Structures are given as structure tokens and as C-alpha cells.
A and B are shown apart, each in its own frame.
Chain A
Amino acid sequence: MTLFQPSKQPFRAIAAVRLHFANADRPWDWLGVVPFFGFAIAFLLIPAASIAIRSVQDNAGHFTLQNLLDLRQPTIVSAYWVSIKLSVVTALIGGVVGALMAYAITVGGLTGGVRSLLMTFSGVASNFAGVPLAFAFIATLGRLGIVTGWLNQAGIDLYQGGFNLYTFWGLAITYLYFQIPLTVLILVPALDGLKREWREASENLGATSWQYWRYVALPMLMPSLLGTMILLFGNAFGAHATAYALTGGQINLVTILIGAQISGDALQNPGLGNALALGMVVIMGLSIAAYSWLQQRTARWVK
């Protein structure tokens, strides 16, 4: 993977460019991008590479696979499992709900004021994560929350009924507050790309509305939909602040575990912490690779 050999690719490209300009009158052109690459190497690529390297080293610096094997510990497996489950659940629900809302303000005909309001709100809400989002949901659905109170008056006791904001489903409901808007932002352009002619052509050929969606529009949108859900998956998988602020670090997620490892070597094994972080980067890297592959497929269709 290119990610773990960070210095190679830029250097190869720079070498290629230098060759290209070798006979021209500008042999020092590549100097112009040195500050950017220097910064990225120092504060992004080296830290990322150091995680990869340290995860296959023991405390004395010798090569070992023990850290990667230790990832099989029950706590760690369960952290990965809960993180993945949370990300899949919020990606699926967020993707479907977001798609329906995006549909409403594009093909569904509610363009105009409603549309620009929802788009602006989505831009804000997709960036409204972390500590304040957790506070908002504690004020809404916490034990003393306003909605909890309303439902109590209506005779429904959420917490007696087994709901708890500070566990898996509470976290999922909270995450959806940035997952749904993100879906709207990404899918609206895709839905705008559905050409009117395609619908008219299928109607002329006698297709029903259902047939149009089943055989024309949905296959066309599938790469965007799947791509969006992958992005949502990564978005939830890497989230730390919201979960930490909501549960006080009491839920077993990979990000929370890494945070605990930083502040107090919770796993009592520095190498294992690196392996844990490496696992996250690998999963994120795979999902982004899948995303960009789907993006290329979409681009081919929409042209």
C-alpha cells in the first residue's frame, strides 16, 4: 500500500518531473512545492509511517509480529466489532434516510426555498460533531432530557423500556445527526445528474414508474449510493470526540481505546497501541480505496 511507503511516491513523481524539465530552462521548478511536501512529510506521513513501523517492533526495537497477533485479545476484537457495527448501522440508516431527503429536494420536486435551507443546514450539521453534539443529545434524550420528559408525560418511560443514550443505540442516534446531512450533501448532485430524457425515454417505451426506478435510475445511482455509504462508514469509524463526550469513555470503541492508550497506556503495551492504530488506518484505507473506485465508475456513467 502506498500509504505506508509515504516518501516513495512523491519522490518518484518529483524525479519524473525533474527529468521532464531537465532540458528545459527551468530545472529548479520542483523547489516550489518543497514547503508543502516538507510539512506533509513531517506532520502526516512520518507519524503515519511510524505507527506502521512501531506496530511490528517490540519494546527493544526488534522486529516482531507479536503486536499484530495480540490484536486477537477479546477486548480488542470486541472494540473493533462494536466500532464496525456502529459504523455499518449508522451508514445504512443515514444513507437511506439521507437518500430519501435528497430525493425530496431534487427529483421529488421540492426545489426552491426548502432545498437551499436543507442544503445550508446539511453543510452546518455535517460539521456539528463532537462535544457540543453530545451535549445536545444529552439535553434531548438523556435521563433528564426534554424529549425523555415529554414521553414520560405521555406515559412512555424510555429508560424503563431499556433505552439508554449512553450505549450503542444512543450513540447511533447521535451519529445520525451528522451522517444524514453528509448523505444529503453528497447525493443531491448525483440525483441532479439523473437526466430528464432517461425518464421520458423509459416512459415512451411503456415503463411504469417502478420499472424506471428499478431498471434505470437505481442502477445508475448505485455507485453513488454505495460510495456514500462507504464514506459514512469511515466517518463513523474514525469518530472519537462524540463517543467520548457522550459516554465519558465508557463504551468500547477502537478510537476510545486508542485515546485511552495515549493518555495512560491502557493496554500496558505500547506496541499493541500502534498495532491497534494501524488496524484502523488499514480499514479506513480500504474503505477510501473502494470509495474512489466507485467514484470512477460513477464518473463514467454521468458523462
Chain B
Amino acid sequence: MTRQMPHQGTVPQQGWSWLWLTLGSLYFVIPLLATVDFSLRAKKDELGFTAYANIFNDPKFFESFTFSALTGVAAIALSMLLIVPTAYWVQLRLPRLRPVIELITLLPFVVPAVVLVFGLIRTYSTTLLNNRSGGWILLTAAYVILSFPYMYRAVDTGMRAVNVQTLTEAAQSLGANWGTIIWRVIFPNLRVALLNGAFITFAIVMGEFTIAALLAQPAFGPYMNLLASSKVYEPSALAVVSFALTWGAIGIAQILGRGKR
């Protein structure tokens, strides 16, 4: 008999499975539907996109959105420049350092954002924070730190998959120097892993509130929060936009992650 026998008790089990899944899904879906519904009620007694129009006509929306997007891109670029050579070097030459790097890249889970920004402000209040762009530098640095767990894991997995050692030796035997190897061999081979880490980081940065607000930066998170103090329906429209953005970024990251395996 080649066909696998179905599990005994499969039928009652599936009944329970559907029950748990349905209950959980209701909890997930109802707030989303309610938020969409709420965001369409800005005009009395009719459904419409007034709240969305109000948001998109607000210049502050675009200013803060662009600010956060640019900060996110800067943080992603810096994070890649720090993580890729390090992960490469650790894989190739310094495997003993791996536990230390893993520990450091996990620290952002131990040090909550509010504590991190507290430490940054106290440490740099008399130096970096004294000039105009200092706050933005600290914000970007903090986002780079937040991206470490995601970026390092993505890059490390990616490097294990492509056999860095062989690639390096092949490139070396063709006369490539270190810069060429990292820039033209390692980076392109990690494209999927890097995009994966980048999209997750982007999603986190776009919704981040705590660090940006406490550093008094004109980012998207603080803008959203400020809007709630004066408007009723616009915040829920923003929540829908923000959820769509998160869905887009994480969805792409997950599809990329899956295609690789």
C-alpha cells in the first residue's frame, strides 16, 4: 500500500481546528473592518473618502512621510554597510566572534526603544544634540540598531546558503581584491536576503513613534499621534494607510524569503 493512511481521528480534530481558527480570525478581522468602516464616516450619514482626502491634502502628511522614508532608507543603507562586511568576515575569518555578534544583534530586544533613546539622549546631550542635525543622526543611528536583529539574521542565513568560502576563493583566483569581492560578488548574491531585511526595517521605521517623538523629530509616527488630538475620523484613515504600507512591506519581505528556500 503506497498511499498514506489518514490519521485516526482526523475528522473531529479538524472540527476543533476550524473553531480555533475562526475565533482567532474574527478577532483579527473585526478591528480591520471596523477601522475601514470608521474611516469612511467623516461625512454625516454617508460613506465616503473625505477623511482620506483630508489626509492627502495635508502638506504635513507628505513632509513627515518623506522624512521617515528618507530616514528609513539611510538607516537601511548604513545597516547593510555595517552588517554585510561583518557577517562576511565572521563567516570567513573570525568564526569565534559569531556568538558575540549574535549577542549584540539581539540586544535591541533586551533594551526597549524607550530605554535606548533615554540612554542616547543622556549620553549625547552635551555633544551631538547640541547641533541642528544631531537629533536626526541619533534617530538614524537608533533605527540602525533596531534593524540589527532582522538584518543580521537575514544576511547570515543568506550567506550560509551561497557558500561564501568558494565564491571568495573563485574571485580571488581571478585576481579580485577585497573591495571587489564584497561589492561585486557578495552583495549581489545576497540581494534577496538584503531586500528581506530592508523591507522589515522600512516597515518598522515608518510606524515608529517612541524614539522619533522623544528626539523631537518631525517623523510620521509623531505626526499620526498629533493628528489624533484634533481629528476624529482621520486617524482611522491613517491607520488603514499605515496597515496597507506594513502589509506591502512585510508581504514583499515574506515572498522574497519564501522564494529563496
Contacts and interface: CB of A to CB of B under 8 A. Distances in A.
Contact of A110 (B18, B118, B148, B254): B18
B17 A241 contact: no
B250 interface: yes
A190 B183 CA distance: 37
Contacts of A84: none
B108 A140 contact: no
Contacts of B148: 40
A17 B35 contact: no
A36 B83 contact: yes
A43 B32 CA distance: 37
B69 interface: no
Interface string A126-167: 011111110111111000111100000000000000000000
A39 B144 contact: yes
A284 B106 CA distance: 12
Given A131-B209, A136-B31, A146-B38, A48 B119 contact: yes
A284 B142 contact: no
Contacts of A108: 13-14, 16-17, 20
Contact of B247 (A17, A39, A124, A274): A124
Contacts of B18: 104, 110
B260 interface: no
A240 B246 CA distance: 19
Contact of A29 (B93, B117, B204, B210): B93
Contacts of B81: 35
B239 A129 contact: no
B110 A10 contact: no
B86 interface: yes
Given A54-B122, A109-B10, A140-B34, A124 B251 contact: yes
Contacts of B243: 124, 128, 132, 136
Given A104-B20, A238-B114, A281-B110, A139 B122 contact: no
B44 to A, nearest CB: 13
Given A140-B30, A240-B210, A44 B97 contact: no
A3 interface: yes
Interface stretch (B52-60, B160-168, B220-228): B220-228
A132 B31 contact: no
B197 interface: no
Contact of B246 (A44, A127, A147, A209): A127
Nearest to B97: A13
A238 B115 CA distance: 9
Nearest to A231: B109
A114 B21 contact: yes
B159 interface: no
A16 B85 contact: no
A3 B106 CA distance: 12
B207 A101 contact: no
A274 B121 CA distance: 12
B110 A44 contact: no
A47 B221 contact: no
Interface stretch (A71-79, A216-224, A258-266): A258-266
Interface of B: 7-10, 13-14, 16-18, 20-21, 24-25, 27-28, 30-35, 37-39, 81-83, 85-86, 89-90, 93-94, 96-97, 99-101, 103-104, 106-123, 138, 141-142, 144-145, 148, 200, 203-204, 207-210, 214, 221, 224-225, 228-229, 232, 235-236, 238-239, 242-243, 246-247, 250-251, 253-254
29 contacts: A26-B93, A48-B115, A51-B122, A54-B122, A101-B24, A118-B25, A124-B247, A128-B243, A131-B224, A131-B228, A132-B242, A135-B235, A135-B236, A136-B31, A136-B243, A140-B34, A177-B27, A180-B27, A238-B112, A238-B113, A240-B114, A241-B210, A245-B224, A255-B112, A262-B118, A281-B110, A281-B111, A285-B110, A288-B109
